[in-house]
Homo-oligomer: A and B are copies of this chain.
């Protein structure tokens, strides 16, 4: 590897200051940088560490005093965080997999692979499956019967796509992703305690103990374009129709999306988010890590939740939520403050009661 500062800046559409012909071999955080590294110092806080390393060039914000930092060259941008996308794409060495169909892959006679598809060692592609052009099916991954993957998809190792799932272009799945497991849907011969509690909010009544009979999932999973899923995340099939995930939605590790859920476009679900069955999520919704969402509710467009928010009921569009239970973030911030002083509040009230009682008696 080895690029001139100019090559990198051109690839990003960014400006160069200083010696544009300086060659770097990679990027690093400022403190770790050798003389052959481009230091990533996209904000003043990061730039403070430049003297701990030996970088001669850095990636900086617009207007940074690169010369005052003792650098020989700088790449500058108005919103450097955004350009990190292009920069890291440019430098990404990828997974280092050989192209083409590996001899140990098991591909059904009736599967259709587009032009330039790569299938890694010990991958399985089922009957009637369709894989779009230039997609990569990683080692030990599985594409089920009659599943469809679009073009330029990239499945890492051990990814599982269930039968009849339909996935768009440029889908990226990290290791261990499981799309298309059966939905978690059971029924009892007579009304169950769960159905009872949902109505009474607390009283399980006389519901007898019963066994659970499974409702099969006849639907599949439908995923739009440019969706990504993190390691070991799961999306279940729908019962009658497909579970749906809109284009541009990004999903982190260990996320669970239940059967019949509909997720809009351009959502961001952080790690360990759980969305229960039949819930609808709007567009551009951001759910922070460990957010839990009840079944059969909706979350409007542009909603944002903070970490570990527990959503029990509908959220109108545009709200910013936090807490257990989910409330407006401002309300929960007040609640968090209130909880820290709760003991004092009890003490105050006890004191007040005593005072008022004394006054009463002395009246």
Q: A residues engaging B (CB < 8 A)?
A: 26-29, 32, 40, 79, 81-82, 84-85, 88-89, 91-98, 102, 104, 106, 120-122, 124, 126-128, 139-140, 142, 144-146, 156-158, 160, 162-164, 172, 174-176, 178, 180-182, 184, 186-190, 193-194, 197, 201-204, 209-218, 226, 228, 230-232, 234, 236, 239-241, 248, 250, 252-254, 256, 258, 266, 268, 270-272, 274, 276, 283-284, 286, 289-290, 292, 294, 301-302, 304, 306-308, 310, 312, 318, 320, 323-325, 327-331, 333-336, 338-343, 345-346, 348-349, 352-353, 355-356, 359-360, 362-363
B352 touching A342, Cβ below 8 Å: no
For this complex, 24 residue pairs linking A to B, each with C-beta atoms less than 8 Å apart, are: A29-B241, A89-B216, A92-B218, A122-B124, A160-B175, A172-B182, A176-B232, A186-B268, A194-B268, A209-B283, A210-B284, A211-B248, A212-B250, A256-B289, A274-B290, A276-B307, A289-B292, A292-B307, A294-B307, A306-B312, A323-B339, A338-B343, A338-B346, A359-B363
B176 touching A218, Cβ below 8 Å: no
Measured in the bound complex, the distance between the Cα atoms of B108 and A96 in whole Å is: 12
Known contacts: A216-B88, A232-B178. The answer to whether A349 contacts B340 by CB under 8 A is no
